[in-house]
Amino acid sequence: MSLSLGYYGDTAMKKIPGGGVGGGYDVPNGVDIRGRYDEEFAKILTKDALMFVAELQREFRNHVRYAMECRKEAKMRYNSGGLPGFDPATRHVREGDWVCAEVPPAVADRRVEITGPVERKMIINALNSGAKVFMADFEDALSPTWENLMRGQVNLKDAVNGTISFQDKARNRVYKLNDQTAKLFVRPRGWHLPESHIFIDGEPAIGCLVDFGLYFYHNHAAFRKAQGQGYGPFFYLPKMENSREARIWNNVFERAENMAGIEKGSIRATVLIETLPAVFQMDEILYELRDHSVGLNCGRWDYIFSYVKTFQAHPDRLLPDRVLVGMGQHFMRSYSDLLIRTCHRRGVHAMGGMAAQIPIRDDPAANKAALELVKKDKLREVRAGHDGTWAAHPGLIPPIMEVFNNNMDDKPNLIKTMKREDAANITEEDLLQIPRGVRTMEGLRLNTRVGIQYLAAWLTGTGSVPLYNLMEDAATAEISRVQNWQWLKYGVELDGDGLGVRVGTELFGKVVEEEMARIEREVGSEKFKKGMYKEACKIFSRQCTAPVLDDFLTLNAYNHIVVHHPRGPSKL
Ligand SMILES: CC(=O)SCCNC(=O)CCNC(=O)[C@H](O)C(C)(C)COP(=O)(O)OP(=O)(O)OC[C@H]1O[C@@H](n2cnc3c(N)ncnc32)[C@H](O)[C@@H]1OP(=O)(O)O
Ligand SMILES: O=CC(=O)O
Ligand SMILES: [Mg+2]
């Protein structure tokens, strides 16, 4: 059976004939490369590597399709009033006395992890940052253009080989790796995203299998020798909703280990718990990946997005302003506590999440305040029992490292010492409790301003940006989009600032117009004209007012960044 074309949700994917059309690349039968030819990319898109990706796609496409169908069914249940919860059918897994394979020595200590897109200079800076781990991102922090994806693969190959360098001509500076570098993890895209520059048997490739397959194929041997002490490569796995999706990854890993002729359990991955349904599946996800797991991570931003998305048809569960939905909210604290308890019971890391604050160069007082917020957040994490956490910027590594060093008693992790048995009593009600707080006009304005600017950056190939002194990426932008959608859908009253107005399309139109004018003032008219702000505004406004909520903004906007060569821009 072949992959259904409805598979990628609302994105219309036109089927093209199969049969090994390379666009300059030497491709195996059934593979068609429609992205630009580049000599450097050709070193990644080798016939053997593409054959491996094609084999993964052929073996797993039906499983992925089924998993996506199950997501749709779950959505229908939630949209008809159902709530996510623990699955009675897998009680034996939650109650069973099993543990995951032992943590590999190379990654026993992960107290501070830096993340960033697979951009050349940032990879070098991140590996040199002093963090224990660098998560190189094909996901939230990357706009998945062909150029970004393929350059990202080239960069990672050079990084694993230790030969990566970058020359900043303007600053007369050459970037190279230090002797001591962070351990590399790679985050492929989620299961839902296609790669429309590569067709396999006439259908777009599954994005994450392209990211994983090409990276694994080219780097497994060098990685295990240089970085993994016999283990690896290491991965982060995003946006899963159910353990059946983790099972597919486990099978992909086994398939890759077989191909490479390495021991089962060599590849290790940390799963982000960043969807509301997945919080009820943490044991089950670890169980599926028990030979390949190195823990779970609190992907807090996508988790908030997922809360809104899951409850899109529940007007009694509206969120307050985005800035008020922090880790102090009961549902967020319960999620982090249960994740720690679950991971430590199963013998693996419980990783904390990303504080959105970044250093503020031109305002020392604001910088100090931002730093204090980050430290407070990290202190809460380590005291709760998280074994490590994420940093968005190299400037945050020393203060975060200090917080963790001061609270870990010289141990590499807290797996054995912070069992958090108290969290065993966390209930479905705790995990679903409605967040408290007000809804304001400023909240609506900020969502709009941030959403449009993020999309404008994403459309031009940048997947993470500093906006108003915070890190914004696909996950944080999603919150802005779905919150606006929800407030519009239910005509929410904005009473937090005493205005008492209801959100409707007329008000939203006015807000969009005023915020666009503000953006133009802030970025300057030249940058505004040259940028993609108008296009972004159109897409964002449509997404916020759509009668049916789009599943992902990146999926909905994906066709805008697909560029086929030599046949011109995509008509997909
Ligand atoms: C919800 C989630 O999924 S979180 C995970 C995904 N998101 C991310 O990974 C975001 C990571 N962070 C970033 O992308 C960036 O920090 C941004 C976009 C927020 C800010 O970047 P910039 O505006 O370049 O910051 P700034 O100008 O202060 O950078 C100073 C230096 O630090 C480097 N730098 C900044 N962030 C990073 C990073 N995450 N990794 C490596 N280097 C970095 C810059 O390249 C720059 O280097 P240089 O001095 O050699 O030129
Ligand atoms: O990927 C991390 C998140 O918070 O989302
Ligand atoms: Mg995320």
In sequence order, what DSSP letters do the residues of 154-219 get, joined into one string? HHHHHHHHT--EEEETTTTEEEE--SS-PEEEEEPPPTT-EEEEEEETTEEEEHHHHHHHHHHHHH
Distance of CA 43 to the CA centre of its chain: 27
- Could you write out the DSSP letters of every residue in 222-236? HHHHHTSTT---EEE
Amino acid at 83: L
Phi, psi of 203 (to 5 degrees): -130, 150
Residue indicated by tokens 């300057």? 524
Cα(299) to centroid of ligand 3, in Å?
5
Q: Which residue's CA is the nearest one to ligand 1's atom 19?
A: 471
Q: Which atom of ligand 1 is nearest to the CA of 354?
A: 4
Q: How far apart are CA 198 and CA 196, in angstroms?
A: 5
Among 21, 86, 79, 35, CA closest to 562: 35
Amino acid at 389: T
C-alpha triplet 109, 113, 115: angle, nearest 5°: 155
Q: H helices of 176-240, where?
A: 207-226
Regarding the beta carbon of 301 and ligand 2, being less than 6 Å apart is answered yes
Q: Which atom of ligand 2 is nearest to the CA of 305?
A: 5
Residue indicated by tokens 């781990």? 133
* Cβ–Cβ under 8 Å, residues 277 and 271: no
Q: For residue 2, what pLDDT is reported?
A: 36
Global pTM value: 0.95
Cα(238) to centroid of ligand 3, in Å?
6
Q: How far apart are CA 158 and CA 99, in angstroms?
A: 36
Q: For residue 20, what pLDDT is reported?
A: 57
Residue to mutate, 137, 140, 471, ligand 2, most ligand atoms under 8 Å from C-beta: 140
Cα(311) to centroid of ligand 2, in Å?
19
Query: Is the dihedral angle over the CA atoms 310, 312, 313, 315 positive or is it negative?
Result: positive
Q: Which residue's CA is the nearest one to ligand 2's atom 3?
A: 299
Q: For residue 498, what pLDDT is reported?
A: 83
Q: For residue 568, what pLDDT is reported?
A: 45
Q: For residue 499, what pLDDT is reported?
A: 85
Amino acid at 372: E
Q: How far apart are CA 539 and CA 158, in angstroms?
A: 36
Residue to mutate, 239, 460, 464, 469, ligand 1, most ligand atoms under 8 Å from C-beta: 464
Active site positions, annotated:
187, 473
Q: Which residue's CA is the nearest one to ligand 2's atom 1?
A: 299
Residue to mutate, 237, 296, 303, ligand 2, most ligand atoms under 8 Å from C-beta: 303
Among 522, 370, 541, 347, CA closest to 451: 541
Q: How far apart are CA 522 and CA 545, in angstroms?
A: 25
Regarding the beta carbon of 388 and ligand 1, being less than 6 Å apart is answered no
Dig out the tokens for 27 from the structure.
Answer: 């491709």
Dig out the tokens for 345 from the structure.
Answer: 């019971």
Regarding the beta carbon of 467 and ligand 1, being less than 6 Å apart is answered no
Which ligand is in closest contact with the Cα of 297? 2
Q: Which atom of ligand 2 is nearest to the CA of 274?
A: 5
Q: How far apart are CA 537 and CA 511, in angstroms?
A: 12
Regarding the beta carbon of 139 and ligand 2, being less than 6 Å apart is answered no
Show the beta-strand stretches assigned E in 227-307.
234-237, 268-273, 293-298
Judging by beta carbons within 10 Å of its beta carbon (0-12, 13-18, 19+), is residue 363 exposed, middle or buried? exposed
* Cβ–Cβ under 8 Å, residues 123 and 439: no
Q: For residue 16, what pLDDT is reported?
A: 42
Q: How far apart are CA 298 and CA 319, in angstroms?
A: 19
Cα(409) to centroid of ligand 2, in Å?
28
pLDDT in tens, the chain (572 residues): 333 434 444 443 434 444 456 679 999 999 999 999 999 999 999 999 999 999 999 999 999 999 999 999 999 999 999 999 999 999 999 999 999 999 999 999 999 999 999 999 999 999 999 999 999 999 999 999 999 999 999 999 999 999 999 999 999 999 999 999 999 999 999 999 999 999 999 999 999 999 999 999 999 999 999 999 999 999 999 999 999 999 999 999 999 999 999 999 999 999 999 999 999 999 999 999 999 999 999 999 999 999 999 999 999 999 999 999 999 999 999 999 999 999 999 999 999 999 999 999 999 999 999 999 999 999 999 999 999 999 999 999 999 999 999 999 899 999 999 999 999 999 999 999 999 999 999 999 999 999 999 999 999 999 999 999 999 999 999 999 999 999 999 999 998 888 889 999 999 999 999 999 999 999 999 999 999 999 999 999 999 999 999 999 999 999 999 999 865 444 44
